[in-house]
Amino acid sequence: MPDDRPAAEAHVAAPLHAPLLVDVQNVTVRFRRKRTFATLLSNTPTSFRAVAEADLAIARQEVVALVGESGSGKTTLGRTILRLYEPNEGVVVFEGQDITHLRERQLRAVWRRMALVFQDPLSSLNPRHTIHTALATPLRIAGRAASDVEDRVKAALQRVGLPLDARGRYPHELSGGQLQRVALARALMLSPALVIADEAVSKLDVSVRSQILNLFKDLQADLNISFLFITHDLHVARYISDRVAVMFFGRIVETGPVRSLFRAPRHPYTRALLATIDDRGEDTPQLRRGVVDPDAPGCIYQAQCPRRIARCAEAHPPTTTVERDHTLACYNPG
Ligand SMILES: Nc1ncnc2c1ncn2[C@@H]1O[C@H](COP(=O)(O)OP(=O)(O)OP(=O)(O)O)[C@@H](O)[C@H]1O
Ligand SMILES: [Mg+2]
């Protein structure tokens, strides 16, 4: 990871009392469990909470990293903010509008203000469309004039550092890093207020990853957008974000400004997660031992927790604000 630039120095974090872009309140998302012979026999409930009672705010121009191990619900929460999923409980507010239960027709205007960048850009690009078509299509759908479309496609390519002749190429003719630049250019075509990047640099080689991360950072500062950066890589989170939210089995257990969270994590899970970082570069935290039932009573982390006390078995701890912009769900923090 690039460590030539200290975390979060490129721009000043917007304080959370500034107008919020995203305000997720008490959101729960349930999925159906796959039915197997074993689940039928053991009378396992037919659904589980992939995201449980989550609160997450994103200020305008803020970069929030959502971190946690595989299966902790990061993508599900991201897709719920985009209203690709409708939550079972709770509220999703975007730009002051409650979008929790909007229908698809009403969501179209909202979706123009949001964009998603995936881990694998090839999967989001049509292999039979040139890069020009990929970039121009969102503008055409939005009803932009043809001359405007040309200018904007050119400007977008320049902004993400691609040559203009990339317009005539097809996705398979580009490298992974170039493709991620195209995906980013496309995400920015309609000037969104929010970009959700879901493991957007995870598959790239380390050297390319630094370039793309820097590009994300530069664009974010230039265009004043908010980012939700979903990543299991804590180095990426530390490098890119203003604030970090830590998830464990569907629960957000701690959120805080990147510097204080990395310097003084409070939740025992955050502490364990950060202890997996070493200086050798890449890290894929794998701390999970055993399977946690997200619907069982008590704290979600109690089985693994070295600081467990009697109360932890009773109910999952409520989320409290422990310092400015720092929240915690723990009865016995460190
Ligand atoms: N569409 C779906 N239907 C049923 N279960 C799902 C669906 N999507 C995700 N899940 C389950 O919900 C839980 C959370 O998954 P999610 O993809 O949000 O995790 P994640 O934190 O993004 O993981 P990763 O780091 O591996 O991408 C997992 O147990 C997953 O198997
Ligand atoms: Mg995911």
Q: Which pLDDT belongs to residue 44?
A: 72
Nearest atom within ligand 1 for CA of residue 78: 18
Joined together, the tokens standing for residue 253 give 């257990």
- Give the chain's end-to-end CA distance (angstroms, integer): 28
- Domain carrying residue 177: 117-191
Structural domains counted in the chain: 2
Nearest atom within ligand 1 for CA of residue 79: 18
Question: Which of these ranges, 167-181, 200-214, 274-288, 315-329, has the smallest mean pLDDT?
Answer: 274-288
Residues 256 and 140 in one domain: no
Residue 311 within any structural domain of the chain: no
Residue 305 within any structural domain of the chain: no
Of 217, 236, 264, the domain-final residue: 264
- Nearest Cα residue to atom 2 of ligand 1: 31
Of 191, 207, 225, the domain-final residue: 191
Q: Which pLDDT belongs to residue 5?
A: 41
Pick the residue with more confidence: 277 or 141?
Answer: 141
Residues 47 and 145 in one domain: no
Residue whose tokens read 């897709």: 79
7: pLDDT strictly greater than 70: no
Residue 41 within any structural domain of the chain: yes
282: pLDDT strictly greater than 70: no
Of 209, 238, 264, the domain-final residue: 264
Q: pLDDT of 229-280, one tens digit each?
A: 999 999 999 999 999 999 999 999 999 999 999 999 999 999 999 988 755 4
Residue 274 within any structural domain of the chain: no
Residues 12 and 101 in one domain: yes
Closest by CA position to 256, among listed 320, 205, 169: 320
283: pLDDT strictly greater than 60: no
Nearest atom within ligand 1 for CA of residue 72: 21
300: pLDDT strictly greater than 90: yes
CATH of the domain at 29: 3.40.50.300
Q: CA 48, CA 31: separation in Å to the nearest integer?
A: 6
10: pLDDT strictly greater than 80: no
Ligand 1 center to residue 74 CA distance, Å? 8
Average pLDDT of the chain is 89
Ligand nearest to the CA of 198: 2
Residues 99 and 208 in one domain: yes
Given a contact cutoff of 8 angstroms between Cβ atoms, the answer to whether 87 and 28 are in contact is yes
Q: Which pLDDT belongs to residue 288?
A: 56
Residues 106 and 122 in one domain: no
Residues 259 and 134 in one domain: no
Residues 48 and 180 in one domain: no
Q: pLDDT of 102-119, one tens digit each?
A: 999 999 999 999 999 988
Pick the residue with more confidence: 202 or 279?
Answer: 202
Segment 298-317 shows an average pLDDT of 95
Q: CA 49, CA 140: separation in Å to the nearest integer?
A: 39
74 lines ligand 1 (CB under 6 A): yes
Ligand nearest to the CA of 233: 1
Segment 53-59 shows an average pLDDT of 96
Residues 36 and 148 in one domain: no
Residue 31 within any structural domain of the chain: yes
Residue 273 within any structural domain of the chain: no
83: pLDDT strictly greater than 90: yes
- Nearest Cα residue to atom 16 of ligand 1: 73
Among 27, 32, 72, 253, the mutation site with the greatest number of ligand 1 atoms within 8 A of its Cβ is 72
Residues 198 and 186 in one domain: no
